[in-house]
Homo-oligomer: A and B are copies of this chain.
Amino acid sequence: MGDTGGPYTLGQLARALGAVLEGDSERIITGVAPLETAGPDQISFVTHRKYLSLAGSSRAGALLVPSDVKDLPGPLLRTGSPHIALITLLGLFHPAPPLAPGLHPSALVARDSRIHPGAWVGAFAVIQAHAVVGAGVRIFPFVYVGERAEIGEETTVYPNVVIREGVRIGRRVIIHPGAVLGSDGFGYAFDGRVHRKIPQVGGVIVEDDVEIGANVAIDRATLGDTVLRRGTKIDNLVQVGHNVEIGEDAIVVAQTGISGSCRVGKGAMLGGQVGIADHVTLGDGVMLGAQSGVPGDIRGAGQYLGSPARPIDDARRIYAAMPRLPALLKKVRALERRVRELEGRLGIARAEGERPDDG
Q: List 15 A-B contacts (CB under 8 A).
A: A81-B191, A84-B196, A87-B197, A106-B108, A160-B162, A160-B180, A174-B184, A195-B251, A215-B237, A219-B236, A321-B325, A328-B328, A338-B339, A339-B339, A342-B348
Cross-chain contact B124 with A108 (CB below 8 angstroms): yes
Chain B contacts of A257 at CB under 8 A?
Answer: 237, 254-255, 272-273
Interface stretch, picked from A21-29, A65-73, A329-337, is: A329-337
Cross-chain contact A215 with B84 (CB below 8 angstroms): no
Is A284 part of the contact surface with B, judged by Cβ < 8 Å?
no
Cross-chain contact B321 with A317 (CB below 8 angstroms): no
CA distance A353 to B325 in the complex (A): 18
Which of B2, B84, B222, B354 is the one whose CB lies under 8 Å from A338? B354
- Say how far A118's CB is from chain B's closest CB, in angstroms: 22
Nearest-CB residue, chain B, relative to A216:
B215
Interface residue count on the A side (C-beta < 8 Å): 120
Chain B contacts of A83 at CB under 8 A?
Answer: 189, 198
Nearest-CB residue, chain B, relative to A92:
B199
Cross-chain contact B239 with A236 (CB below 8 angstroms): yes
Q: How many copies does the complex hold?
A: 3
Cross-chain contact B318 with A334 (CB below 8 angstroms): no
Nearest-CB residue, chain B, relative to A327:
B359
Cross-chain contact A176 with B165 (CB below 8 angstroms): no
Flag A310-330 by CB within 8 Å of B: 1 or 0 each: 100010011111111111110
Cross-chain contact B291 with A307 (CB below 8 angstroms): yes
Cross-chain contact B272 with A275 (CB below 8 angstroms): yes
Chain B contacts of A122 at CB under 8 A?
Answer: 126
Is A207 part of the contact surface with B, judged by Cβ < 8 Å?
no
Cross-chain contact A141 with B126 (CB below 8 angstroms): yes
Chain B contacts of A141 at CB under 8 A?
Answer: 108, 126, 144
Chain B contacts of A241 at CB under 8 A?
Answer: 254
Among residues 38 to 93 in chain A, which have CB atoms less than 8 Å away from a CB atom of chain B? 81, 83-84, 86-87, 90-91, 93
- Say how far A1's CB is from chain B's closest CB, in angstroms: 4
Is A350 part of the contact surface with B, judged by Cβ < 8 Å?
yes
